[in-house]
Amino acid sequence: MRMATKQEIIAERVPEYAAGDSVTKSKILDSLEVTTGQARKSLIRRLNQLAQGKSNTVPDRPGRPRTYGNEVTAALKSLWDLSHECSGERLWPQLAMYVDVLHRFHRWTYSFSATMQLLTMSEKTVKRRIASFRHEQTLLPLRGMSTTKPSQLKELIPIRRGPWENPAPGYGEIDTVVHCGSSLQGDLAFTVQYTDVATLWVLLAAQWNKGQAATRESIQGMRDRLPFALKGLDPDSGSEFINWMLYGWCKQEGIQMSRIRPGKKNDHGRIEQKNYTNVRQFVGYVRLDRREQVALLQELYAVLEDYLNFFIPSRKCIRRERIGSRYRKVYDRAAPPYTRVLAHPEVPEKVKTALRAKYLTLDPVVLKMELDLKTKRLLGSCGVPAPAVLR
């Protein structure tokens, strides 16, 4: 039976239903249930609508009215875009920070009521709204490739077993990312990435191939840019890290070296996931096999470091709880590395003062625009069309 026919049958019984008592109404509903196959509650709603003169066939939206209007949704979408499409768990604790920064640079154009609604929105609502936003496809649909080859110097550098036990700022994990496209043949650009364990501070460096001298120079530059002293490096067993040149330099500079167990990437949990969120999400999986592209990549990283460290929140796993036969990870409140550095008691006050002064000069909208421009230039050098969000 077509829906139009069902509606005609229901409409014929409206006068009788409206004038009848409870017994009569019950009999009418019993008859209509059998005839139309519709649920009793649905029939009651439709009969009452027609009795009140409402001719529309679409019932009124059930439930409570919407709390957040289109302006609040637009404001949330703008902050989500500015945070490089962060998850709701990471974005929600930092909504006030983003609004404050945009107010400082006179970029916040939404009304006071919409702003108040946005700042009082619950985490679950933020996650639900973000899930409805469309993610732009900005990267090539490829998978990364591994270039890690074991070094013969492994016996001199101790293996770190188990998780870090709350080290001081300056102890971090380090790894390389190859930009090879779908082939490892020939000379290529590499990214060296450092992630501080205590503060999640990120450092990035582009280099040509992964020779010992190039890798040491990248790490020297990272040490100079790190706000606090570099105290320890924890790489994998790759030959770009486990070699006499870097080992001797670390020993000379008083930097401790350890390494993860071969083949155990879970020992490098922080840096492995950062390889995607901090490198692949911005650069993608394109092949960079010309020296001039290393310079373009380094220009991109000069902006990306400030963007990630000052404005992109991250979460740390603080413990694992066993529930029956499974484990549940418990995370802390999401915060940018800058906030974590200011809150850490072992970071010198002069370092915090310098970071506060730099923070006041940084506009996240300008940084995001520079990132998009430099990413477009880098992809253009590879002959790859710019993603839709960058055009």
pLDDT, tens digit, for every residue of 158-199? 787 666 778 899 999 999 999 988 888 889 999 999 999 999
Strands (E), 293-346: 317-323, 326-331
Task: Please indicate whether residue 270 or residue 133 has the higher confidence score (pLDDT).
Answer: 133
Q: CA separation (Å) from 140 to 287, 301, 384?
A: 11, 20, 9
Does residue 126 surpass a pLDDT of 80? yes
Residues 74 and 47 in one domain: no
Q: How many CA atoms lie within 13 A of 18 on its CB side?
A: 14
Does residue 360 surpass a pLDDT of 60? yes
Residues 99 and 188 in one domain: no
Identify whether 149 is part of a domain: no
Does residue 390 surpass a pLDDT of 60? no
Residues 338 and 249 in one domain: yes
- Residue whose tokens read 């930009």: 179
Q: Given pLDDT bands bounded at 50, 70 and 90, which one contains residue 318?
A: confident
Residues 75 and 125 in one domain: yes
Residues 46 and 87 in one domain: no
CA dist., res. 46 & res. 36, Å (int):
13
Q: Given pLDDT bands bounded at 50, 70 and 90, which one contains residue 55?
A: low
CA dist., res. 206 & res. 215, Å (int):
9
Residues 75 and 47 in one domain: no
Percent of the chain with pLDDT over 90: 54
pLDDT tens, residue by residue, 63-112: 567 788 899 999 999 999 999 999 999 999 999 999 999 999 999 999 99
Range of 29's domain? 3-51
Q: What is the CATH number of the domain that holds 368?
A: 3.30.420.10
Residues 115 and 192 in one domain: no
Residues 41 and 167 in one domain: no
DSSP state of 210: T
How many structural domains compose the chain? 3
Does residue 8 surpass a pLDDT of 90? no
Residues 190 and 110 in one domain: no
Of 225, 202, 336, nearest to 276 (Cα)?
A: 202
Rg (CA), the chain: 29
Helix (H, G, I), strand (E, B) or coil at 2: coil
| Length of the chain measured in residues | 391
Residue-level pLDDT at 146: 60
Helix (H, G, I), strand (E, B) or coil at 202: strand
Residue-level pLDDT at 139: 45
Residues 353 and 296 in one domain: yes
Identify whether 145 is part of a domain: no
CA dist., res. 250 & res. 252, Å (int):
5
Q: What angle do CA 327, 331, 334 make, to 5 degrees?
A: 160
- Residue ranges of alpha helices (H) inside 83-150 are 88-91, 95-104, 112-119, 123-132
CA dist., res. 91 & res. 130, Å (int):
10
Residue-level pLDDT at 62: 58
Task: Please indicate whether residue 143 or residue 116 has the higher confidence score (pLDDT).
Answer: 116
DSSP state of 156: G
Helix (H, G, I), strand (E, B) or coil at 286: coil
Average pLDDT of the residues in 336-345: 95
Residue-level pLDDT at 389: 42
CA dist., res. 6 & res. 310, Å (int):
61
The angle that helices 22-36 and 40-51 make with each other, rounded to 10 degrees, is: 120
Residue-level pLDDT at 388: 44
Q: CA separation (Å) from 315 to 98, 130, 178, 332?
A: 17, 18, 26, 6
Spatial neighbors of 19 by CB under 8 A, at least 6 apart, are none
Q: Given pLDDT bands bounded at 50, 70 and 90, which one contains residue 225?
A: very high
Task: Please indicate whether residue 148 or residue 270 has the higher confidence score (pLDDT).
Answer: 270
Residues 181 and 305 in one domain: yes
Does residue 147 surpass a pLDDT of 90? no
Residue-level pLDDT at 140: 45
Residues 215 and 76 in one domain: no
Average pLDDT of the residues in 122-148: 71
Phi, psi (deg, nearest 5) at residue 326: -120, 165
Identify whether 39 is part of a domain: yes
Residue-level pLDDT at 384: 72
Identify whether 324 is part of a domain: yes
The separation between the first and the last C-alpha atoms of the chain, rounded to the nearest angstrom, is 51
